[in-house]
Amino acid sequence: MKILITAGPTREPIDPVRFISNRSSGKMGYALARAFRRLNHEVLLISGPTHIDVPDLVDFIPVETAEEMYHAVSQMISRADVAIFCAAVADYTMKEIAPQKIKKTGDSLTLVMQKTKDILGSARSVHGFAGYLVGFAAETENLEQQARDKLQRKDCDMIIANDVSQQGIGFDASDNEVMIIEAHENTILPRDSKEHIAHHLAAMITEKAIRKNIASA
């Protein structure tokens, strides 16, 4: 199968030397890319800036901003059988990027930002993606409910939820503990390395995607 994965943070420029970003390391998305490759799938990784090497034999599109990631996904999603949105995309970007470095003239500085496009939310509604769709949810409270809402709102087959308020898992950590939310079931994968979690997820998603494709064929 052809698997599209988004990973890493995005960077939203403020002026020529500054940007707003987040703590996403890209570890989970890259671990998934490696895990799907090991299962002999064709993998396309669309990633914001990270410090991780691009896995061997994986197609790679580097991006910086949420808008660039949206554009890359729009171009490529129709070729995918499975799309997994692991990236920590900025929710807001600058309304206008200052053409010159902003000077520290005032005592305070107000930045005016506007919403970015929801890349995962556009997969079905804008791009008509009919394959197996997986989103991630990083929450600090009401994990299950928030993830279940996201599953419906973004028309996903699966949401992989993690509680980012817990120490040592999630953002920028090597371990994760995830709750897998599907329409009729929840599965918990207890704390383990992102590598092992990625293996479980890749095997599980492969099986479910095959079942879905057979059902809709």
Among 28, 33, 119, 181, binds ligand C5P (CB under 6 A): 119
Query: Which residue, 92, 44, 91, 94, is CA-closest to 72?
Result: 44
Among 59, 118, 175, 177, binds ligand C5P (CB under 6 A): 118
Cα angle value 101/107/11 (rounded, 5°): 40
Q: Which of 22, 142, 186, 213 is catalytic?
A: 22
Among 4, 72, 89, 94, binds ligand C5P (CB under 6 A): 89
Q: Which residues in 174-206 are b (16+ Cβ under 10 Å) and which e?
A: ebbbbbbbeeeeeeebeebebbebbbebbebbb
Q: Does residue 22 carry a catalytic annotation?
A: yes
Q: What is the DSSP string of 197-209?
A: HHHHHHHHHHHHH
Indicate the Cα dihedral angle 161, 51, 93, 147, nearest 10°: 0
Contact segment (CB under 6 A) with ligand C5P among 37-45, 86-94, 171-179, 182-190 equals: 86-94
Judged by CB under 6 A, the number of residues near ligand C5P is 14
Q: What are phi and psi of 91, to 5 degrees?
A: -80, -25
If one asks whether residue 45 binds ligand C5P (CB under 6 A), the answer comes out as no
Binding pattern to ligand C5P, positions 126-165, x when CB under 6 A?
---------xxx------------x---------------
Active site residues: 22
Binding stretches for ligand C5P (CB under 6 A): 6, 66, 85-87, 89, 116, 118-120, 135-137, 150
